Every structure is written in C-alpha cells, then in structure tokens.
Structure 1
C-alpha cells in the first residue's frame, strides 16, 4: 500500500513539474545568469525546493546502485523511484553530474550481465533516461559509454554493453550492429591475448547477425603479434593459443587470407620457426575453401613445408583438403609432397597416390637424396633413371648428372672401366634423344644439354688414368660443349688439359696442349684457369712420364708460371714447392741407386735444374720466398750433393735471422752426409753463441751427425752433458738413446754406451730396458 501511494504521489508530482527539453534549459540558464540578483530576490522559495529535489535524485541513484550491487532480483522498484524523481529536477540540475553519472552507468553495466530479460529492459530505460537528461541521442550516449569502456581497457563491460544495446528494439542503437565497434573491441582484447573475449565476441556477433570479414581476422591476428613486437621480452602466441584462434575463425566463417598468413609467418621469424611452420600449416589447412584465392603455387608451398617437417599422414590430410578446394595433382604436386629426404619408395608411393606417372623435377630430387645418403646406390639409381626414361616424359639434365655421378663418384676407389663405359652410354643416349626431339638443330637456346658439372665429372674421371683410348672421347666431349655453348669452368679446363698432357707422346706436345687450351685467345679475356688449376697443371707437367730421366724442363715450367702472373693470379709458394719437391725426390732416388757412378750424370742434371730454380727465385722481384721455401731449396741442394750451395743458403738465413728449427736440422743433416765435421761444429757453435733455442729434434739430428762422422764418444758427451740440466727444459728422449745405440752397435761399442746411459740417464735406461730386451 505504501509503494502504491508513493508511486501515485510520484506520478502526480511529475504531472505538475514536466521535464523541459535541453534547449529550454540552456536558454533558462542563460537568462538566469544574466540576472542573478533578480532571481535570488524574487524566487527564494523555489531555489530551496530545487536543492531538496536534487538531493533526492542523487539519493535515489545511490539507492539504485546499492540495490543492483547487492545482487537483488528486483531492481525495478528502485529504478522506478529514481525515474520518478526526474520530474522534480530543476532546469539547472537536469544535466547528469558526477559522481552520480558514474554510479548510474555502473549500475546499468551490472544489469547488462544479468540473466533476467526484465533487467535488460531496465538498461534500455536507463539508457533513454540518461540520454534525455544529458540532452543527447540514445545512440550517441550508448556509443560514448562503449568508447569510454574500451579506452579504459574494460573489455568485458564493453562487450556486455555492446551486446545488450545491440538487442534493444524500439530505439536507434544501430552502432552496435556494424563492424567498427566490434573490431575496436576485438583489437584491444587480442592485444591483451584475451581468448575468452574473442570467442565470446564472435559468438555474440553471430547472434546479432554482424558478419565478420577478412578484416576481422587481420585485426585480431595483427593485435596478437603486435604486443610481442612492442615488448621484446614477450613471446609470440603459443601454438595452442593460435590453434584456438584459428578454430574460432573457422566457426565464425572468417576466410583464409594471404595478408593474415604473412603476419603469422613474420611474427614467428625471430622466435620459434617450428611453431610458426605448424601454425601456418594449421591456418592454411583449416580456413582454405573454394573462392578464397589460394593459388596452386601457395598450396604446393604449404605441402612442401609439411612434407619437410611433418609426417606422411599430415601431408596426406592436407593434400585431401586442398583437393576439396580444387587442387588438381600434377608433377609440381609430386615434387612438393616428397619432402627433404624422400627416397625411391616414397616417390613410387606418391606417384600412385596422386595418379601422376612421374616428373623429372621430382625424380631428380629423389636421386639427389639417394646419393646424399651414401651406400652402394649406383646400380639402383641407374635402374631408376632408365625406368623413368621409359615412362615417356623427358628426363632432365639433372637426372642424367645424378645417374652419372652414382657411377663415377666414389671416395674409396676410382670407378671401374665398366662404370665409365656405362656413364658414356647414358650421356650419348641423352644427347641422341635431345637431337631427335629438337626441331631446330641450330637453335641451341631452346635445347636442353647436360650440366657443366656433368662434363666436368666425365673429364675428371678420364684424367685419372693414362689410357690413351679416352683421348678421342675427351675431344668429342669438348666438341659437344662448344656445340651447346657450355663454357669450360677453370676446374674442367684444368681436367681437360691434364688429360691431353698425359696422352701426348712427348713433353713438347704436352706443353703445346697446355698452350692450346690454357691461354685465352686474347690476353684481355678472362683466364681459362684459376690458381688451383695452374698448380694442378704444373704438378702434372713435372710428373710427365715422357721426361728424359724424369727431369722436367724448368724453362717451360716457368713459362707456365709467367702465364699465371700475366693473368693477375697470385704467384704463391705452391708453384715453387711443386718443382723443388719433385727435383728433391729425383735427387734422393738417384743417390740411393745401386751405383752412384751410373747416376752421377743424372744428379748433375738435377743439380743444374735446382740451380735454375734458385736463380729464378733470385731474379723474381715480385716474389719473396718464405723460410719454408728456402728450407726446401736447401734440402734439395744437399740431396743432389750440392753441399756448398746448401751452406750458402744456410749462411744467408743465419745472417738475416730468418731460419727456424727445420733449417737447423737440414743443415746439420747435410753436414753428416757430406762428412763436414768442421761445418757442423761452426753451425752448432753459432747457434749456442746466438742463444738460439734448439728443440729436441735439432739435438737428435746433431747426435746422428756426430755418429755418422764416427764421433760416438763426442755424441755421448753431448747427450750426457750438453743435453742434461738445461735451463730451456730440453732433455734427451728415447729417440736420442736409439740413435746412439744404433751407431754404437755398428762399431762394437754398444755395451760401453749402454753402461754410460745407465749411469747418467737411469730413468731413460730403465724405461727402455723391457722395450729393448736388455738384461739387468
């Protein structure tokens, strides 16, 4: 009864004091402001009444807020009392003021979450009342509330408000039925990785018939990754997060989009690329559908990514999905699904699954994988190559190369003659088929031809032996290369030159073969050989079996070196090392012959060749030999019996302090073999006086030198006195003992030497006792 009486009284008061429009309030306020004194004097009672009504209105807002906050199920009476007070407000107070405005909005937002439909009706009435009090349109007020909530990142309240106002009928709140506010809400929620809000928002959009678009997906994904790009410590979204998001897109009808996929790929580039690949695969497989604009090339790219990192089952599932949206299997599809390590069995499986006979690109990939895996794959690959040829499609030059590589490449041994012949048959069949298929024999640009590396492999194989029967084959290969405009790379050029040089009957003809192919027609042209190729040719030139007594012509050798320098190739120590090392080996072989008298003439010729190399070093102003090269030249001289020249090199090195421990061992060894005791003493004295730190090998060389000069007692003094207790830490080793015992045994002094070793070097003696079989 009391409530009924209050309601009737409220209606009576409202009828007596109708609410004025905002325009009249403004005009009234303006006029009152212009005449403040008159207003105060003439209407004091009305002012007191207005203050009481304002307080009542504020009190009712607080009461309404308290009822709603308490969770009561009947907030309608409190709202009706509030609305009843509106009629009593003065014109000046008709604008909703803070903090009452915030309390009223908070109460309305709480009611937005209510499960009871009549509470949503209160929200509608409250929205209209607030808009009327503020003098704005209901749609504008609703949009303003939403925007302020989003600005504060209160996305939950913003979603509830947008949802409830979107369902209202009878008033214009169409702002909630367009994409713009939903996109703004989703962007903020996705930036905070709020998966619940995204799912809830997409569901409510569907119920309100607000259809998401491609832009909706772009905005969500971009916001998800933007937070990681702004905060480097924050990782990109996890795989589970993106999986949930992509499933939401699928349910909401958001289609596949290339731009969105690019954002995903870029987002994982500097983080976890494996997760990025999985997300990319899931996005493409889940959202692709007819008419999304996904090209076959993009489908093949996705299949290749899955095949490289996933399982066959995953590839098959993705393939079926793409076939549903229009993918027609082709050779490119076959290539894509093979993966990074597919073998012949995988190739055959996918050919059958796709209904494709095969393809040269995919077959070449499989052959390359088989070769990379190693093992005895030659016969199997050749059989596979022949089988693919019989299918009718045109085999590629890559397939030919891999088949020939399987026959000829082996790290263990040179290929057999049968393998070489088979490789040449495959090559000739390929050329013959090309000639038959080409409509224009003169148009080489439209014809396929073997790879340059195939020619290189064939020619290198033919250069391994000295059988002249392959010389015509090599020439025919070179003719084919010219016919197909295949340039000889430096390595292939060197291989061909080496083959021809070995096949020529005389050194002069071998040199001409080099001049024919090694030098470009014009001096300004790019050189046909690189540094490595020149060194290989110089080595082959020195080792030609046609040289008289094996001694190469230094004149022709340095002509090749001159050509090398003319083409601005660096002349390094390798070229000199090649010929000096070869001459040193010849000198050693000549000195160890059964009769030195028979080889004396040969050693003389070798010595003269070494002297010519030495002279070339002296006059070559553009090249500075290092100590290693001087050591090699000194060693070559002493091996050829030119001890005086070896001593001169040592004296030069010693005077300039450019020698090393190797130099010391070489000159002392030379003194030993040339019975030059005085020179050995001078060398040793000079080293001691200069304080040069000799190593153990130098000392052992000195011991051997003294023993060879029949000075075993002196060697024992060096061992027991000079080498013991040194400040540089050098001590005799087992090799020192072995050297002395070896020569002592030849002169019948072994017991005496062993006794002294046992006395002065007991530790070494006992360490060798069991090894040498000595008795105690």
Structure 2
C-alpha cells in the first residue's frame, strides 16, 4: 500500500528550474550533469532507493541496494517532488522511466495529488535538457493519456523539433506532423518554418522531394500562405549554395496558393494593363473599379508588384488602392530588384525606402540585400558596400530580439569583412559581430563555427591575435563546444599555415605551441587526436624550412643580405627546436600509435631543416622494424643529397637493393639525384646503365635522364657520358631527344 497521502498540487505555484534545487540524494548526481552539452544522468541505485522510500513505494525484487535506505522522516515538499520527477526523466533508463510513471500514476488515485501542465512541462524540459529525443517524443504523443490528461502545447512540439529535428530524417517529418495533429495541436506556418529550419540545420540539406512534400502537406491541411514558410526553404537552400533549387521551390510554393477567383484575377490583370499605359491611366481605372465594388487586399498588391523593381511602384499602388503594403510586397520588390539589376546601389535604395516607410527590418528582408552587398566574385566586395551592409545590420540588431539576427547573416557579414583588403579597419568589426552573436545567444552549427573561425584566423595580424580569435569562437554562448572533429582538423590546417607579413619569412614560422593548445582543446572536447594532427604541423614546418633555405641561397652577398642570412639562421634553429619538441610530444602521447606516414613526415621535416642525424635515426628505426615504405626511401635520398652525406647514402641504398625491397621509379630517380648532388655523377650513370632494368628492377624513364643531364652539363667528359647513356638506353635516349632533354 502507498501510505503517503497528503494532498499537494504540482502546478503553477511551483516555480521550478530544471536541476535548480535537487534533493539531497540526487544533488551530487545532477551536479555532474551540468556540462557543456546535454547528456543522460544515470541515477545510482541508492538514489533510486531514496526516491522509492521517500514516497513509500515498494522496492523491485530485482534491485539490490546497499546500504538500505530508511523511510522518510517528513513528507516531501512540492519542489522536492518535482526534482525527483525531473531527475528520473533526465536519467532516461527504462527502469527509471518506469518509476517515473509509477510516481505519477499512484499519487492521483492514492493521495489526491493534482497533476497540472506545469508538471508535464517540467518532465518534458528534463527530457529535452538531457538530450533524450525518443522519450521526449513519446511523452508528447501520450501526454493526454497520462495523469491529468493534459495535451501538449504547440510550443512544446516546436521545442522538440528545434532540439532534435536536425538529427531527424527529412522523410520522417510528415509522420511527425501527423503525431502533432493526433495530440490535439493544429500546426501553424511557424510550425512548418521551425521544421524546415531544423531540416536545413542537419549535416546535409533536405532532398527536394522531402521539402516539396512538407510544403504540399502544409497547403493540404489548410495552413495559410505565409512568407515565413517559403523563406525557410529558400534561405536554407541559398545558404547551402543551391540558389537554383531555392528559386524552383519558391515557384512551386507560390503555385500551390495561387487560387484566386477568375473575377479577381481579371480585375488585377486589367489594372496591370492600365499601369503599363501610365500611372494616370492606372489611377483612373482603379477609381472606376472601386466604385463598382472592387475591394483590393494585400495579395492584390503582390500580383501588381510581381515585376516591380522600385519602391516608387509600392508607394503608387498603396496610394491608389489605399492598401498598405505588407512585408511580402516589399520582399517581392527587393528580390526583383536584386535579380533584375544586380545593383547594390538600387537594392540599398529600396531598403532605405523600406525603412522610411516605417517598416521594421527583419532577417528575411535584409538577408538577400546583405548577400548582394557582400557578394564576392573575382574580387572582394567594395568597402562602400561592406559599410552599407554594416549599417543595415545595425538597424536589424536594434529591431530584433535574442536569437536574431540569424547565424546565416552573421556568416555573410563576417565573411565579407575578412575578405576585404583593409583588414585593419574591419577585423575589430568582425570581432564585434561575433560578440553580438554570442550576446544574443545565436547558435552556430559546427559548419558555421568552422567557417567563422577560419575567416577570423586569416584576418589576424599576429599568432597571438589568431589564437584569441579562435578562443572567441570555439565555445558557444551556452558553453557548448562549437567545433566538431572535422572542424578542429580544418582549423588546425589553417592555423599552422598562417603567415604574418611578406617581408620576413620569420613571421611565417608556424605557431606550433599555440597549435597544440588547440589540439588540447580538441582532446578535452572528446574528439580523437590521431597522427594526422601531428602530420599537419610537421609538414608545414618542413615547407617553411624549405622556403628559408631557398631564401638563404638566393640572398645577396653584401649589404642587407648579411642581415637576412642572420635572420635565416635564427629561423632554421627555431624550426629545428620546434621539430624536436613535437617529436618528443609525439612519442610520449599515450593515445597515439605512430604509423609510417607520420614517421615519414617527421623525417622529412628534419631533413628539410638540415637535421640529417635526426632524420637518419628515424630511418634506422624504420629499417630495423621493416616498417619503411617507398616514401621513406625518397625522403632519405633527398636528405643525403642535400646534406652532402655520402657515407650515409652508401649505407642506405645498397642495403635496400640487397634486401629485395622493390624500389619504384621515384626511389631510383631520387637515388640518382642524390649521387649527382654528392658529385658522384659517374656512379649515378653506373646505376642508370647497370642496375636499373636489371634483376627485376624498374627501367629508367625520361625523368631519370633529365636528372643526370642536369648535372652533366659543362662537366669534363660530358660528351662521353651522354654517349654511354645513349648506348645503354637508345630508345629512351631518342625519346629524351624529342623532348629536348639532351640538347
């Protein structure tokens, strides 16, 4: 029997906050749930036992609690009851959800407890907060059958779609709307807009068939024509760079709702023909029609403005028909102006007329204008257009509430700011936009966050500034991490390739220490850090070392050349220290199992930085473990050739040939070049004529001839060496002659 029968009410007087004042038993559990992202809170056995004991519910036979929990010394208050319910909901385990239903079902019958909409709302919010999509959906579908028999609200359905819609298959949305109707709610244009926005927040945009099906369902169920619905589709596809699809969808949607009576259609057509003959003729015709009982409506304006590109037409028809233009009418003219003229000046003038008419700027109105102003073709957008875009944004920011402007608008603006040549002027504005975005709680999906981070990185003037830009974005305003695993890899790729200034290569050395701070964030976010992360920075260090070496060899002998050489030496030493430090981090990283690729990348970085001994030690390790590959061989050939290391070269390559390892043509050509760089041209010709093509070895190609001839020129015995190559490889020599290699 249930013995706790005090009457209480879990209703509007309970000012609950999810996980705000948990009971003593669950407080430590719920505290652990306050993380950066929604997750389940699995209650301990003692917590479940305490909840059962608090309400004198019988223990389940299969549960074993240690230590046993004694009965309560007092009746739980309303907040404690609500905390217990939300804790069970947040856990999400089958047994905990069963206990949740037991608590709800027992109290109304045994204790005359009144369950209200607030009770159900608290439980549903707990499902949402813990990321339990299936439990939250089942709760909405069955709310009116549970104690209290309270149907869900449409806003709760919207909350479910916003939270879990992006992970919902787009083909499942029609069945979701059937569930909404079955629960007693009638979908509105906002419902379809929320659903369509969720579909476009998924990793891949919805298929055209799925979007069309949802639009058809909205029309068939009696949902009125609304710009908010089709704008969700057109802006969604436009943001994914599928503009033709967006335009087709708009045409499709408009056709669904063009069911005007023949009389109205004929009347409007008459007005359009009159307007084509002049405004005076149109005015006379409008007065005549009104005297005959014609009552114009906002949709009348929509038809009359179907081809208009100027705000003057809006003002004329407003005055003539005495009907105020709505947002849709202005959107028609804005879209027409953009598509017909592609003129930022004309579009901006329409926007100014829109504001002057007392209309409020919204994301849907300004988004197409901003895209035109910030459009990048072969050149970055003009500064005057970017400045106009910022003025429009200021109006929009003042007119909107938290959650707006949309992430798409911020992405458009920031992309334009950092693509301009005047980064000193616009970089602070880009950071200010990012702060506005965070203050408004505008959520970024991972793709948007990655894009914005990369844009800010590329506009930074120092490594420190770039790192601070990354820190501004990597965690959203709600504390959630903004980047996913792919986003981190993309950011790392860009960060290590940043160059700050063209005068000195010193400023181009990768900021490897801050690079690994980002890697640390990636690891703490729970994303796997693999060998690719190490290969990215090592490869860039190697490329930078090569640039410095080339600069060093091309520097003039006198004047400023001496200072350049000093800087180059400092740069090379910095790269050498960085490479050795990363090598140490790599071998001490317990989560990494280095493979041949990363060892090759490290070996190549060492050899490019002039650290032959370090590269040779890695080679020896690969050789002894028989884990080298063809790339390893080519890297060591380059290393020995550029370092003048003949002793090491003759240790490596004869051993490889004797081992039976099949070197490819690139390996042989690298070996030929190595010998030539070591001033062993005759040995290289011996390899070309007596080893290549023999004993199963690959035959030489035109590149083999090219390598040797580039070192034979102007040498003593040049003619004899060429004749020897011709005798051994006459066909190849003839082919090389035709390519101009031997001339």
Q: Please, what TM-score do these two structures have when normalized by structure 2?
A: 0.52
Number of matched pairs: 468
Query: Structure 1 residues 364 and 506, CA, compared in 2 at 3 Å: closer, same or farther?
Result: same
Query: Structure 1 residues 643 and 476, CA, compared in 2 at 3 Å: closer, same or farther?
Result: closer
Query: Structure 1 residues 625 and 386, CA, compared in 2 at 3 Å: closer, same or farther?
Result: farther
Q: Determine the C-alpha separation between the residues in 2 that align with 1:317 and 1:508.
A: 61
Match of 1:418? 384
Asked if 2 retains the 8 angstrom alpha-carbon contact of 1:672 and 1:709, the reply is yes
Q: Determine the C-alpha separation between the residues in 1 that align with 2:465 and 2:250.
A: 56
Q: Determine the C-alpha separation between the residues in 1 that align with 2:223 and 2:475.
A: 50
1:591-633 Cα shifts (integer Å, max 9, x gaps): 2313666633432221111011111111111123343332221
1:741 is displaced (CA, Å) by 1.0
SS of the equivalent of 2:713 reads helix
Match of 2:619? 650
Match of 1:171? none
Match of 1:600? 569
Q: Determine the C-alpha separation between the residues in 1 that align with 2:473 and 2:249.
A: 49
Q: Are 1:584 and 2:553 an aligned pair?
A: no
SS of the equivalent of 2:514 reads helix
Asked if 2 retains the 8 angstrom alpha-carbon contact of 1:401 and 1:451, the reply is no
Query: Structure 1 residues 306 and 535, CA, compared in 2 at 3 Å: closer, same or farther?
Result: closer
- Map 1:522-537 onto structure 2 (within 5 A): 525-535=479-489, 537=491
Query: Structure 1 residues 601 and 720, CA, compared in 2 at 3 Å: closer, same or farther?
Result: same
Query: Structure 1 residues 374 and 590, CA, compared in 2 at 3 Å: closer, same or farther?
Result: farther
Q: Determine the C-alpha separation between the residues in 2 that align with 1:316 and 1:723.
A: 77
Match of 1:660? 629
Q: Are 1:407 and 2:373 an aligned pair?
A: yes
1:35-64 Cα shifts (integer Å, max 9, x gaps): xxxxxxxxxxxxxxxxxxxxxxxxxxxxxx
Q: Determine the C-alpha separation between the residues in 2 that align with 1:401 and 1:632.
A: 45
1:568 is displaced (CA, Å) by 0.8
Q: Determine the C-alpha separation between the residues in 1 that align with 2:477 and 2:351.
A: 40
Match of 1:457? 412
Q: Determine the C-alpha separation between the residues in 1 that align with 2:691 and 2:411.
A: 59
Q: Determine the C-alpha separation between the residues in 2 that align with 1:324 and 1:296.
A: 26
Which residue, 614, 623, 628 being the options, matches 2:583?
A: 614
Q: Determine the C-alpha separation between the residues in 2 that align with 1:661 and 1:343.
A: 65
1:425 is displaced (CA, Å) by 2.0
Query: Structure 1 residues 768 and 512, CA, compared in 2 at 3 Å: closer, same or farther?
Result: closer
Asked if 1 retains the 8 angstrom alpha-carbon contact of 2:225 and 2:257, the reply is no
Q: CA RMSD in A?
A: 5.0
Q: Are 1:743 and 2:711 an aligned pair?
A: yes
Q: Determine the C-alpha separation between the residues in 1 that align with 2:335 and 2:538.
A: 43
Which residue, 643, 649, 654 being the options, matches 1:685?
A: 654
- Map 1:161-560 onto structure 2 (within 5 A): 297=224, 308=251, 320=262, 359-361=326-328, 364=331, 378-379=344-345, 381-386=347-352, 388-389=354-355, 393-432=359-398, 434=399, 444=401, 449-464=404-419, 467-490=423-446, 507=463, 511=467, 514-515=470-471, 518-519=474-475, 525-535=479-489, 537-538=491-492, 539-540=494-495, 543=498, 545=500, 550-552=508-510, 554-560=512-518
Higher-Rg member (1/2): 1
Match of 2:740? 772
1:379-405 Cα shifts (integer Å, max 9, x gaps): 554455445555654443123122111
1:769 is displaced (CA, Å) by 2.6
Match of 2:727? 759
1:548 is displaced (CA, Å) by 6.5
Match of 1:724? 693
Q: Determine the C-alpha separation between the residues in 1 that align with 2:686 and 2:359.
A: 85
Give 5+ residue unaligned stretches, structure 2: 1-208, 231-246, 268-292, 556-561
Query: Structure 1 residues 732 and 670, CA, compared in 2 at 3 Å: closer, same or farther?
Result: same
Query: Structure 1 residues 731 and 308, CA, compared in 2 at 3 Å: closer, same or farther?
Result: same
1:512 is displaced (CA, Å) by 5.2
Asked if 1 retains the 8 angstrom alpha-carbon contact of 2:438 and 2:477, the reply is no
1:755 is displaced (CA, Å) by 1.4
Asked if 1 retains the 8 angstrom alpha-carbon contact of 2:310 and 2:350, the reply is no
1:588 is displaced (CA, Å) by 1.7
Q: Determine the C-alpha separation between the residues in 2 that align with 1:508 and 1:383.
A: 41
1:666 is displaced (CA, Å) by 0.9
SS of the equivalent of 1:653 reads helix
Q: Are 1:563 and 2:517 an aligned pair?
A: no
1:679-713 Cα shifts (integer Å, max 9, x gaps): 32333233323332322222111111111112222
Query: Structure 1 residues 520 and 485, CA, compared in 2 at 3 Å: closer, same or farther?
Result: closer
Relative to structure 2, which stretch is displaced further, 667-676 or 526-535?
526-535
Query: Structure 1 residues 512 and 451, CA, compared in 2 at 3 Å: closer, same or farther?
Result: closer
Asked if 2 retains the 8 angstrom alpha-carbon contact of 1:358 and 1:388, the reply is no
Give 5+ residue unaligned stretches, structure 1: 1-272, 285-292, 436-443
Q: Determine the C-alpha separation between the residues in 2 that align with 1:475 and 1:542.
A: 21
- Map 1:63-142 onto structure 2 (within 5 A): none
1:474 is displaced (CA, Å) by 3.2
Match of 1:41? none
1:302-359 Cα shifts (integer Å, max 9, x gaps): 9x999947999x9989763786999987656887999xxx986699999989978755
1:205-241 Cα shifts (integer Å, max 9, x gaps): xxxxxxxxxxxxxxxxxxxxxxxxxxxxxxxxxxxxx
Q: Determine the C-alpha separation between the residues in 2 that align with 1:598 and 1:475.
A: 33
Asked if 1 retains the 8 angstrom alpha-carbon contact of 2:675 and 2:683, the reply is yes
Relative to structure 2, which stretch is displaced further, 748-757 or 667-676?
748-757
Q: Which has the higher contact order (CA 8 A, sep 6+)?
A: 2
Q: Determine the C-alpha separation between the residues in 2 that align with 1:307 and 1:481.
A: 29
- Map 1:46-61 onto structure 2 (within 5 A): none
1:458 is displaced (CA, Å) by 1.6
SS of the equivalent of 1:772 reads coil
Bigger fraction of residues in helix: 1
Q: Determine the C-alpha separation between the residues in 2 that align with 1:653 and 1:362.
A: 71
Q: Please, what TM-score do these two structures have when normalized by structure 1?
A: 0.50
SS of the equivalent of 2:500 reads coil
Q: Determine the C-alpha separation between the residues in 2 that align with 1:319 and 1:347.
A: 28
Match of 1:3? none
Q: Determine the C-alpha separation between the residues in 1 that align with 2:521 and 2:547.
A: 31
Query: Structure 1 residues 387 and 641, CA, compared in 2 at 3 Å: closer, same or farther?
Result: same
1:641 is displaced (CA, Å) by 0.9
Asked if 1 retains the 8 angstrom alpha-carbon contact of 2:506 and 2:567, the reply is no
Match of 1:705? 674
Q: Determine the C-alpha separation between the residues in 2 that align with 1:360 and 1:419.
A: 24
Asked if 2 retains the 8 angstrom alpha-carbon contact of 1:583 and 1:610, the reply is yes
SS of the equivalent of 1:463 reads helix
1:455 is displaced (CA, Å) by 1.2
